Structure 1
Amino acid sequence: MGRGRQKAKNTKIARDLKYDTYNVNYSALERELGSHTDEQYVDKWADQYSDEYEDEKA
């Protein structure tokens, strides 16, 4: 595709994004962002790999 066609396509997409009105479900967004869990962070990859840095240090 030539540069002119690509620029026209990008311009069309930019206009669509700028002027289109989107329906946002704010309650679902609030639930997703506001969910707090008391679970501790668990590194699921910790058991698969040894700590090479600690091995060199010893």
Structure 2
Amino acid sequence: MGRGRQKAKQTKVARDLKYYSPPTDLSALQRELQTSATSNDHHDELADRYADTEPDESSDEDWADEPASGATRRR
């Protein structure tokens, strides 16, 4: 007993949170989206600068022919 008031209060708080929609600052959203476009350009510059241009020393076929160290074959 005595749980009715507590449950009603929790239900009211949950309902208030569910239907609450804070005001949206559209100008701040626009600024954020505009700056993300320039940050993508910066990311591309860094990717180009640090791209791996050296070919791999071993090809993918080399590792497939050699058994792993410590691996044993079953007969």
TM-score range for the pair, normalised by the shorter chain length: 0.3 to 0.5
TM-score by length of 2: 0.36
Q: Whose radius of gyration is greater, 1 or 2? A: 2
TM-score by length of 1: 0.42
